[in-house]
Structure 1
Amino acid sequence: MEVSEFDDILDDWFIESLKTYKDLHVYQLEHPTQVIEWTSGKTVCVAGYSPSRNEILELRLPLKLYADENKGLCAERDFKVAHGGFTDSPVRRLKHIPGTRCVVTNDGLTSDLQLWELGGDDSDVIRRTGSVKGGRSASESGSRIAARLSSPPQVLHGAQSSDVQLTEVASGKTLYRLAETDSADLLSSLQFVNDTVFLAGCCNGRVYVADTRKPGAPQLSPPPPSSGESSLWWTDVSASPHVSSCRVVRLSSAGRAVVSDLRNPGEAVSQAQLDVQTRCCGLDDVSVSWAPALKDCVSVSGFSGVVQLYSTSTWRIEPQDARPLFQHRGHAVSSQQNDDGVPASVTSHVWHPERPRTLLSAASDGSVHVWDWVDPDR
């Protein structure tokens, strides 16, 4: 693309963004990240994933984002590095343990976890403090990690459905294991629904729902009926104080999204064919997520340099084509193409836990954006 043509596209998008975003802030990392994890309402952790030495950073979001009035008078408009450290391995997964200043990471190469202390007022250094042994010595894609508020701190982790376990961080003691299953399904997601119930989503579309208080067999739901495609599947469950009102969304690498009730994940409530650029995807490429503070809204990234938001309120049981409610094109538009002609792709995105329309996203060019989008229907 010619420089002048690129500048024109960037200028057009910038003018458009004045109407489509309430807030938009851009930050550039030295190396791209695949993880964005909230450590508080105003700070996030990111980390590099190159094969060699990588940074782990805790970033403080721009103060201007939180200024309710007179935003133009707020001097702090940029991200700030609050704490930082280094690791000699990639960081493919990172999870903050609620109620602590600790994060847990996985390198995507083994099922073992690494423990890190984020530092505090007396230190700006993120340092490694220990490790947690995984269920296997090797793994195809490393362990998935989930954490909840507990005392003492605990983490749920596993690479396959057959080796999911709950571990006490300080002692390394195994508190729970997922009951033996008929097969060792590779996991694409692992998350707590409430204090005891968790969901394990598998890359073949299967879903396990289990309770850490009950040693019996988990509830197993089959993958959505096949339409002839051989797909990877990614899963997310909506946040709710009551399990009965939680919903599961499964997204295939062919762009098919299926919504179901957590009490019966095997039966579709609604489904749609999303308007995504389907391509050959890896297990760590794509992400689908329910909005925590916005009803019936899911976000999708990893198919391209765009983050898409969809309203599921109009989806029906019969499959239909769905158009995005909103698209964040900032990473695709603002990045120059690489030498090999491949544009930047989104590597991670996450919703703000409290602000309904605020998201963070990162891309393969090292860019990190925080944006508050304007609902076009309001």
Structure 2
Amino acid sequence: MYSLSYKSDQFDQCGENIKMEQSECDDILDDWFIESLKTYKDLHVYQLEHPTQVIEWTSGRTICVAGYNSSKIEILELRLPLKLFADENKGLCPERDFKVVHGGFTEGPIRCLRHIPGTRCAVTNDGQSSDLQVWDLGGDDSDVIRRTGSIRGRTGPSETGSRIAARVSSPPEVLHGALSSSVQLTQLESGNSIYKLETESADVLSSLQFLNDTEFLAGCRNGSIYIADTRTPAVPQASPAPASSAGPVLWWTDASGPRASSGSVVRVSSSGQAVVSDLRNLDGAVCRAQLDVQTGHCKLDNVRVSWSPTLDDCISVSGFDGVVQIYSTALWSTELQKAQPMFQHRGHAVSSQADGGAPVSVTSHVWHAERPHTLLSAASDGSVHVWDWVDPDGSPAE
């Protein structure tokens, strides 16, 4: 069953039966609404007071978001609409909106946030230095998110801030760094550094992620990649940036799925080129494509590329404009050719056009770890969407 609920000033007229007054919505929004009845299984919208660049899962049904551009910055844990998870009789489910379950305030912006798996703890970075802030996300006895400590980085002020990665460990540990030469693994409880990535280069990081319990990937903005093992101080495996005909470009990187150590890496450039490589041969290209993105509107801090955790050969891209695009890399070849997305979420862009506001940019998006076609996205107007898209062949996702 398709369901659509809105919680924002411009959509206050939408009720249980999704009624819209023609006089209050222009043709752009109306056309997209009719189209969305066929292209989404579910779509829910929430309006934050201030926009966020972080969407981090804290459980299968809750996310953490935080502001970055105001004097009063909130950090919130939101529960997704229960109607999204109803298997049958969705219309009878009374919970159609996001709900704030824990919240707090921070003195500075939050540009990066990671939940520590297996705990009620999160680590953040302000995008201005390499230092981290540690947070208690609250529990059943408290709805307050509070700061409990900090972790010193290996570098001073930074134009991009630190990247953060975490995985299940005991005691809890966090991998972090602003540059390839400043990556370290730190124990949260003691604050002790138990591993440092040893490399002579000092490339600005665009991504940092664990491939398995011990190996991690550090993707750099210049397109180079390092793969290292926290159990050994050995020199990391390094790969240079892919060749680009567009001149100097910046790159964003993601490795595929929970079996990433035997999987693939995708690199997307500021010129819209995507290159997929095998983790066992990073210097080669399994396939490549020129994406259908608006490179002239690219906001460097907003660009995201992510492999689907459940769908084979499927990536999502956002941050070039107000849409989230989903591509099937199975259709690509080793020759650079233009690629069209198999699906686009245009809700953020369409709603801003209908409201007469300035064009919005998608600031972040994430896949649900278990629901194949469910994603969340946030935009510069403060909107947060959770959507379950329908396969291009017209069949809804299970």
- TM-score normalised by length of structure 2: 0.91
CA contact (8 A) 1:337 1:344 kept: no
The answer for unaligned runs of 5 or more in structure 1 is none
Q: Which residue of 2 aligns with 1:353?
A: 369
CA contact 1:292–1:351 (8 Å) conserved in 2: yes
Q: Which whole-Å CA distance do the structure 2 matches of 1:357 and 1:60 have between them? A: 19
**Gap regions ≥5 residues in structure 2:** 1-21
- Matched with 2:210 is 192
Name the CA distance, whole Å, in 2 between partners of 1:242 and 1:26: 32
Aligned to 1:364: 380
- Matched residue type, 2:367: W
2:109 corresponds to which of 59, 67, 90: 90
Q: 1:108 aligns with which of 109, 124, 127?
A: 127
Q: Look up the match of 1:221.
A: 239
Aligned partner (choices 87, 91, 99) of residue 118 of structure 2: 99
- Equivalent-residue separation in structure 1 for 2:168 and 2:131 (angstroms): 21
Query: Among 147, 150, 153, which residue is 1:128 paired with?
Result: 147
- Residue pairs, 1:47-66, within 5 angstroms: 47-66=66-85
Query: Which letter maps to 1:65?
Result: L
- Out of 330-339 and 167-176, give the one that drifted further: 330-339
Looking at structure 1, the residues matched to 260 and 139 of structure 2 have their Cα atoms a distance apart, in angstroms, of 35
Question: Which residue number corresponds to residue 331 of structure 2?
Answer: 314
- Residue aligning to 1:211: 229
SS of alignment partner, residue 284 of structure 2: strand
User: What letter matches 1:219 in structure 2?
Assistant: Q
Partner of 1:168: 187
Distance change in 2, residues 1:338/1:254 (3 Å): farther
Compute the displacement of 1:52 (Å).
2.5
- State the AA in 1 paired with 2:272: G
1:373 aligns with 2:389: yes
Runs of 4+ in 1 over 2 A off after TM superposition: 3-6, 280-283, 336-339
- Contact 1:24/1:372 (8 A) holds in 2: yes
* C-alpha distance in structure 1 between counterparts of 2:25 and 2:222, whole Å: 40
Instruction: Determine which of 243, 259, 265 is the counterpart of 1:248.
Output: 265
> Over aligned residues, Cα RMSD in angstroms?
1.5
Kindly indicate whether the alpha-carbon contact (under 8 Å) linking 1:308 and 1:328 is maintained by their aligned counterparts in 2. yes
Which whole-Å deviations, capped at 9, do the CAs of 1:35-77 have from their partners, x for residues lacking one? Answer: 0000000000000001533000000000000000000110000
Contact 1:337/1:343 (CA < 8 Å) preserved in 2? no
Query: Matches of 1:218 and 1:54 in 2, distance apart?
Result: 38
May I ask how many residue pairs the two structures share in their alignment?
373
Q: Secondary structure at the match of 2:296?
A: coil
Residue matched to 2:87: 68
Q: CA deviation at 1:100?
A: 0.2
Structure 1 residues 7, 338: closer, same or farther in 2, change over 3 A? closer
Tell me how far apart the structure 2 counterparts of residues 141 and 84 of structure 1 sit (CA, whole Å): 26
2:160 maps to 141
Of 51-60 and 314-323, deviating more is 51-60
Q: Could you tell me the TM-score, scaled by structure 1's length?
A: 0.96
1:188–1:201 contact (8 Å) kept in structure 2? yes
Distance apart, 1:226 and its partner CA: 2.2
% identical aligned pairs: 73
